[in-house]
Amino acid sequence: ETGVTQSPTHLIKTRGQQVTLRCSSQSGHNTVSWYQQALGQGPQFIFQYYREEENGRGNFPPRFSGLQFPNYSSELNVNALELDDSALYLCASSLATSGGETQYFGPGTRLLVL
């Protein structure tokens, strides 16, 4: 167990809807990164939050957005859901110091878009 929690564990939505996924980081960690993992693929970086600011973004459209709260927990919001958004969404927490820190993953949220 990494101490990183995510909710919900599973979610079914229809195309065009909006979804919010939540993540609580490991105690003492101040950085949260979000990844999307499609079936048979490695995780793909969506974005990272450090001290409530976005600190890097992968190749995802603006309909993917996020927040980090003062307690370092985080949300991932996806608007106008598309069928290809069906994936495992992973949150990883780390303690940012000088870069290259180890990231610890939560159990993930499996999203199915119909």
Q: Which residues bind other proteins (CB under 8 A)?
A: 2, 31, 33, 35, 40-45, 48, 50, 55-56, 58, 88, 90, 92, 94, 96, 99-108
Secondary structure letter of residue 85 according to DSSP: G
Report residue 95 as tokens. Answer: 């303690």
* 38 versus 80: smaller Cβ distance to other proteins: 38
To other proteins, the closest distance from the beta carbon of 10 in angstroms equals: 11
* 18 versus 41: smaller Cβ distance to other proteins: 41
* 19 versus 31: smaller Cβ distance to other proteins: 31
Residue type, 79: N
Q: Which helix (H) or strand (E) holds 110?
A: strand 109-113
Q: Which residues contact 98 (CB under 8 A, 6 or more apart)?
A: none
Number of C-alpha atoms within 13 angstroms, CB side, residue 10? Answer: 1
To other proteins, the closest distance from the beta carbon of 41 in angstroms equals: 6
